[in-house]
Copies of this chain bind each other. A is one copy, B any other.
Amino acid sequence: RRRGFPEVVLAEGKTSEQVVKIMESLAEYHSNILATRAEPETYELVKQIIPEVKYNKLGRVIILERRPLPRKGSVVVVCAGTSDLPVVEEACETALIMGNEVKKLRDVGVAGVHRLLDNLDILHQARVIIVVAGMDGALPSVVAGLVDKPVIAVPTSVGYGASFNGLAPLLTMLNSCAAGIGVVNIDNGFGAAYLANSINKMGI
């Protein structure tokens, strides 16, 4: 009988062949597997060996979910714009396969704070909030100021110039005026969801 808790493979920095081989061998003992940062070509190769896999193209995630875990609690993933969506999708797929109920809240950037205020109820229903933001990285501060939940902040490499590939929002988030924020690596949707899962499952 295979283990239900998902294994996660980081495809980036591996050849497609290496990913296929790793997933194949993991699939013997694990019902649920995720491969993050996977290119479409890698997905096509994996699919020939494990036909049940699915692919989230935007999030670049290959998903094998043969025995879905029951989805509990509630993780809300918040972002401002279209360009942060790949990281949002990586976070959502990770949280889902780990057995979390997930809601997305997008187009709620700090430059239009009213949109965020209009969705306060969604934030209040969350147990943990993941906030994904590039450029000025200001969104986690505003969200953490509005609600009293653990907030996980993910800076993204979206933007240009003085964003320095995500350094700007990373520093912003580490210096947040609002307390209660834990920061993960630039573009690390997976890491944010992993931490959110371990928080969300507390007391459940």
Contact = CB atoms under 8 A, between A and B. Distances in A.
B173 A112 contact: no
A195 B174 contact: no
Interface string A35-47: 0000000000000
B179 A182 contact: no
B175 A135 contact: yes
B138 A177 contact: yes
A161 to B, nearest CB: 3
Interface string A154-193: 0101111111111111111111111111111111101100
A134 to B, nearest CB: 8
A180 B163 contact: no
Given A138-B138, A142-B113, A169 B179 contact: no
A135 B186 CA distance: 12
Contact of A161 (B112, B148, B157, B202): B157
A199 B18 CA distance: 35
A157 B137 CA distance: 18
B111 A178 contact: yes
A146 B113 contact: yes
B179 A160 contact: no
Given A158-B13, A186-B160, A112 B175 contact: no
A140 B148 CA distance: 24
B183 A190 contact: no
Interface of A: 8, 10, 12-14, 18, 22, 80-83, 109-113, 117, 127, 135-138, 141-142, 144-146, 148-150, 152, 155, 157-188, 190-191, 194-195, 198-199, 202-204
15 contacts: A109-B177, A110-B110, A110-B138, A110-B177, A113-B113, A113-B145, A135-B177, A136-B138, A161-B174, A161-B175, A162-B170, A163-B171, A168-B174, A180-B198, A203-B204
